[in-house]
A and B are shown apart, each in its own frame.
Chain A
Amino acid sequence: MSAFHIIVCGSLVPDPLQTLEPITSPTGPGLKNEAMLPAVLDPWAGHALYEAANLAKNNPGSKVWLVSLGPKAKLQQLMMTIAQKVPFELVAVDGSASGFTDPFEAANALSDAIAKIPGLDRSKLLVFGGCASASRDAGVTMQMIGEKLGICDQFLAVDELSTPGDGSLRILERIEGGRYQVSSCQGAPAVLAWATGKLPVPPNNPQVGMMNMRAIMPALQKAVPAKVGSEGVTFSSVEVPKQKRETRIVKDMPVDEIAREIVAWITA
């Protein structure tokens, strides 16, 4: 058994079913009605959080922090939906959660916040996050956070982490062709950017929520403002692609004929 200090980086993204429309503002691109869009915890960061909680539960003495960069008011709202899931301590960074911010700037803000967490033990440190966000979808932020924290053992698109018990980590990463690369790392510190992992979304636990929330509100009040933008980047356009196709609708065609047409098309 080893105790871990697990930092999970994750923030809000628009609830996946929302209609997204880009707009251009003086500060760069954004989403129409962005403040009104219901938000959820980024799905991959969510998997990372649940994996972290599970790891902490199985390794007594461990602790989980959730480091979130987003507008304070939206983070507060997000906490209502995730704080009942698993125990964690929130570190809030008050800044933009837009997908159009630069990962370099987001990584700087997050790693600065991590570095300031009191009592963090590097020999126990695992930095978790999603393998990409559902907003920026870059898949590069965690690596830069790791670099800034000086961590040279990094894993991307992780679906499984096991701890054989000697302090080492056995890690499965998604690679091409639906396969996993299997690696063994001597132990913390390491960066793990998660894909879906293997755990289901935990049920809402009101007791966990009640405990979490006591520290969450003060953490939100203490949220440090961070200027996170996209310096140096010029967007000439952001648009929803016009992909409307002329769909030929085939109704009332006998099954045999449809099958023949499909086979001809597949084998063409």
Chain B
Amino acid sequence: MEKILYLAHVESDGTLSKAALESLGAAVELSKKLSGSSLSVGLIGSQAEKAAGSIASCGATSFFAVSGPEFDCSRYSTDAAAIEALGRQTQATLMVAAGTSRFGRAVPGATFRLNGRIDSRITGFTVENNSFQIQRWFYRQRMMSTQTRAQRPWALLLDPGVFSPWAGQPGTTSVQSIAVNLPELRTRVLGTETATTGPQTIRPDAKLLFVTGAGWTKKQSDGQPHVKEAEDLIINFLEKTRASLGSTKSLVDQTGDGQQVISLLSHINQVGQTGSTPRHQKGLSTCCHGEEPHTVGWRFINERRAINLDANCGWAQGKADVLYVADAFQVLKKVNELL
């Protein structure tokens, strides 16, 4: 008889983020499939009542909240204390939460306080004969496991962008407020800032991921590199498509190699083995070369196309739906014109 606790941090306007609704969708589905289980909701943040109302019809038997100005920001000490209190209050055996930066930081430590165990980066689950298994990736998205565990409480951090968001009617519900003993607050959150001084290029909600490879800075058919031209083409394309910009490691690494580089790229743009593995509906790779493990950067892209002069390009053969064997400079120029 699992006691499922769904955890969410509430946005400043009292809404729940897309990632939070996705994990609610997963939690609701899980409670339906696990016979005899119960679902409760634990919310963190000042506007918990409003957020609870928005998901009142999710099927949870009870709603709890840790509220107060201290809990409005993303901070380890307060978040961990809140999660710990919610876990203790509900005696949860399964805690389901979105793998956001905030919960990624706080849920593991809170779980440790509850003498529980945690699995993160979860991308799927199955329930068969009331036995519950999760799927997660190991070795930087190179292999996938199906596994379960005996220990409880068991915290599950779900990868954003994988599960269908919960969509239901708002309503009214009563929210029980939970008091939390906070330690001395030694950390102040001062705010947020953008990672680069250039234009915003990482757009997690974009439909398209545009992956740039090292070929953009290499010598072109006339024997010269055309880095400035490459940069203009890429910026123009990103402005027109609102795509998110990813890059291979070899391209971002060139900053350290004294080569001419594309100025709007930083390590934050890096996808792949030592970068991120973003999720977008479509992906277009340009001038990228390499086999596994480089191509894990677009493992979670649904529709993939590539432009490369090399027909044997590892980013394309067997990995993309379409490979255009062509000069990306020319193609992108034309694409920008058409857009």
Contacts and interface: CB of A to CB of B under 8 A. Distances in A.
Q: Is chain B in direct contact with chain A in the complex (CB below 8 A)?
A: yes
A143 B105 contact: yes
A177 B317 contact: no
Contacts of B113: 147
B292 interface: yes
Interface residues of B, number: 93
A136 interface: yes
A134 to B, nearest CB: 5
B143 A238 contact: yes
A235 B241 contact: no
Contacts of B204: 176-177
Given A178-B195, A259-B335, A143 B101 contact: no
Given A20-B142, A20-B143, A236-B148, A182 B195 contact: no
Contact of B284 (A104, A179, A262): A262
Contacts of A205: none
Interface string B91-109: 0000000001110111111
Contacts of B183: 152
Given A22-B143, A136-B138, A102 B117 contact: yes
Q: Tell me the interface secondary structure of chain A in the complex.
A: mixed
A152 B186 contact: yes
A138 B120 contact: yes
Contacts, number: 267
Given A240-B143, A247-B318, A259-B335, A140 B202 contact: no
A140 B118 contact: yes
Given A148-B112, A239-B143, A175 B74 contact: yes
Interface in B126-169: 133, 137-151, 157
Interface in A117-139: 134-139
Interface stretch (B2-10, B29-37, B319-327): B319-327
A154 B186 contact: no
B148 A234 contact: yes
5 contacts: A153-B76, A176-B204, A179-B193, A236-B147, A259-B335
Given A152-B76, A155-B76, 16 more contacts: A16-B293, A20-B139, A143-B106, A144-B108, A147-B112, A154-B105, A184-B187, A186-B187, A236-B147, A240-B143, A244-B318, A253-B324, A255-B326, A258-B326, A259-B338, A262-B331
Shortest 9 CB-CB distances between A and B: which pairs? A178-B202, A259-B334, A140-B108, A143-B108, A143-B109, A154-B76, A156-B105, A232-B150, A186-B186
